[in-house]
């Protein structure tokens, strides 16, 4: 990016923004937005976005995309969030599982799974995290045992989002146990309606619900092995780096700060002190820096340069910033605004409940710091 966009990119952004501000899209987005612990079904909204060709603009045309650049896809992602579109389906289905299929899927897998995703007719979730392994995928215990031409997967996955609505799960499981912490891991595309799959809700305070997925000898065809057998860890490493652009967390932070300012203006703007104005200025400065970090990562990925350290920095900074803004903004609405349940107040309450998970998903802040520290140690040792 280098701090600017081309004229074509700006025209594209304007067209996308105009489409997303239509009455039809805005009504569908409002109906899909959770509040007060209630999570609506966002699939009708995504079917509409699929009809408008806005879900997978950077995918090849033969898979349902529009053949545009990754930069254009990031522009769409920005405008989706700014238009009030809940982004979890897009992040999980398109940016993670869809990207995995593009990166490592067979031609048959791409032809089968990608076009329905592009049309907003099929949705996916990620089945990595386990109760005892947490964010350390090297500690996963789910096992995929060979069964004729396919496999049977047994294990438990936790903390996946939108799982009760999805059709497909990208599941990490051990195909060769006992070969080492990060060896013998394979990736599978699991039919979430298959016998042996049980999805239950994990109690929480967020408007989006986490789920537990129990897999009891679930039959998976050999054709649903994604990438080479036992080579899941290198693929996961590369995909996680692509996932950690920080853009989605940045957009949440931006939206939450805007809601805080809206609450201030609607409340008692004359009571805004110099100290509060200074803090708002600091937040805007941090957001500007955060935006540059995210787009530097996106620009690198678009040029086939995946920098593990840069992605760790972007993910750490953006998720910590979003969480900090949410905590700071929680006390801004006045008692009267809280009683009236204004739009800004509802957004900030939801943000406060969602924020703790941001520093955990896609790798905890501690893991990001470890990646950075390892890089500094390597530089210090002259490697």
pLDDT at 121: 97
Reduced to 3 states (helix: H, G, I; strand: E, B; else coil), residue 359 is coil
Q: Which residues of 264-284 are buried (b: 16+ CB within 10 A; e: fewer)?
A: bebbeeeeeeeeeeeebeebe
DSSP bridge partners of 150: 147
- Average pLDDT in the 111-132 region? 95
Q: Are residues 266 and 186 in the same domain?
A: no
Q: Are residues 194 and 258 in the same domain?
A: no
| Last residue in a domain, options 97, 122, 147 | 122
Higher pLDDT, 151 or 379: 151
Helical segments of the chain, H only:
7-20, 23-32, 43-51, 70-82, 88-89, 99-104, 107-118, 232-243, 247-266, 274-302, 308-329, 335-340, 343-358, 365-380
Whether 272 is covered by a domain: the verdict is yes
pLDDT tens for each residue of 175-229 = 998 888 889 999 999 999 999 999 999 887 777 888 999 999 999 999 999 999 9
- Average pLDDT in the 31-52 region? 89
CA gap 221, 323 in Å, rounded:
41
pLDDT band at 308 (very low <50, low <70, confident <90, very high): confident
Say which CATH number the domain at 117 has.
1.10.540.10
Q: What is the mean pLDDT of the chain?
A: 90
Whether 236 is covered by a domain: the verdict is no
CA gap 142, 169 in Å, rounded:
14
Q: Are residues 367 and 254 in the same domain?
A: yes
| Last residue in a domain, options 228, 252, 274 | 228
Q: Are residues 57 and 172 in the same domain?
A: no
Q: Which domain holds residue 212?
A: 126-228
pLDDT tens for each residue of 158-173 = 988 899 999 999 999 9
- Domains in the chain: how many in total? 3
Whether 1 is covered by a domain: the verdict is no
Whether 237 is covered by a domain: the verdict is no
DSSP states of 188-242 = EEEETTSTTEEEEEEP-SSSSPEEEEEEEEEEE-GGGEESSTTBHHHHHHHHHHH
Whether 106 is covered by a domain: the verdict is yes
Q: Are residues 253 and 356 in the same domain?
A: yes
pLDDT at 232: 92
Non-local (6+) Cβ contacts of 327 within 8 A are 352, 355
pLDDT at 240: 77
Q: Is the pLDDT of residue 82 over 90?
A: yes
Say which CATH number the domain at 170 has.
2.40.110.10
pLDDT at 171: 96
Q: Are residues 303 and 324 in the same domain?
A: yes
pLDDT at 379: 58
Q: Is the pLDDT of residue 34 over 90?
A: no
Q: Are residues 75 and 15 in the same domain?
A: yes
pLDDT tens for each residue of 67-78 = 999 999 999 999
Whether 2 is covered by a domain: the verdict is no
pLDDT band at 92 (very low <50, low <70, confident <90, very high): very high
- Average pLDDT in the 329-357 region? 84
pLDDT tens for each residue of 229-263 = 999 998 888 777 778 899 999 999 999 999 999 98
Q: Are residues 204 and 317 in the same domain?
A: no
- Average pLDDT in the 340-349 region? 83
Q: Are residues 113 and 139 in the same domain?
A: no
Which two structure tokens, joined as six digits, stand for 160? 């996946």
Q: What percent of the chain has pLDDT over 90?
A: 65
pLDDT tens for each residue of 256-284 = 999 999 988 887 766 677 778 899 999 99
Say which CATH number the domain at 264 has.
1.20.140.10
Whether 34 is covered by a domain: the verdict is yes
pLDDT at 360: 81
Q: Is the pLDDT of residue 27 over 90?
A: yes
pTM above 0.85, yes or no: yes
| Last residue in a domain, options 80, 104, 122 | 122
Whether 165 is covered by a domain: the verdict is yes
pLDDT at 226: 96
């Amino acid at each position: 990016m280098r701090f600017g966009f081309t004229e074509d990119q700006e025209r594209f952004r304007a067209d996308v923004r105009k489409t997303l501000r239509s009455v039809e899209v805005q009504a569908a987005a409002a109906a899909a937005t959770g509040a007060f612990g209630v999570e609506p079904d966002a699939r009708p909204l995504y079917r509409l976005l699929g009809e408008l060709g806005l879900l997978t603009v950077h995918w090849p045309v033969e898979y349902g995309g529009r053949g545009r650049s990754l930069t254009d896809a990031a522009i769409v992602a920005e405008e989706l969030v700014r238009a009030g579109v809940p982004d979890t389906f897009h992040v999980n289905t398109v940016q993670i599982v869809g990207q995995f299929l593009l990166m490592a899927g067979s031609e048959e897998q791409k032809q089968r799974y990608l076009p329905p995703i592009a049309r907003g007719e099929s949705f996916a979730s990620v089945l990595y995290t386990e109760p005892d392994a947490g964010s350390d995928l090297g500690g996963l215990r789910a096992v995929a045992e060979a069964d004729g031409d396919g496999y049977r997967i047994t294990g438990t996955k936790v903390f996946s989002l939108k799982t009760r609505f999805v059709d497909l799960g990208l599941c990490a499981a051990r195909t060769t146990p006992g070969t080492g912490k990060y060896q013998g891991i394979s990736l599978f595309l699991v039919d979430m309606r298959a016998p042996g799959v049980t999805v239950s809700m994990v109690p929480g305070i967020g408007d989006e619900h986490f789920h537990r997925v129990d897999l009891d000898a679930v039959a998976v065809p050999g054709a649903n092995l994604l990438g080479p057998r036992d080579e899941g860890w290198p693929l996961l490493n590369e995909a996680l780096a692509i996932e950690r652009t920080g853009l989605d967390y940045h957009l949440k932070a931006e939206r939450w700060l805007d809601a805080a300012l809206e609450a201030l203006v609607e409340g008692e703007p004359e009571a805004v002190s110099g100290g509060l104005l200074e803090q708002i200025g600091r937040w805007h400065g941090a957001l500007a820096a955060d935006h540059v970090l995210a787009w530097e990562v996106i620009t690198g990925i678009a040029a086939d340069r995946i920098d593990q350290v840069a992605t760790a920095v972007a993910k750490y900074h953006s998720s910590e910033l979003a969480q900090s803004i949410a905590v700071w903004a929680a006390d801004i609405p006045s008692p009267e605004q809280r009683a009236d349940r204004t739009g800004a107040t509802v957004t900030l309450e939801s943000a406060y409940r969602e924020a703790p998970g941001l520093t955990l998903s896609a790798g905890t802040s501690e893991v990001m710091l470890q990646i950075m520290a390892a890089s500094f140690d390597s530089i210090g040792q002259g490697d």
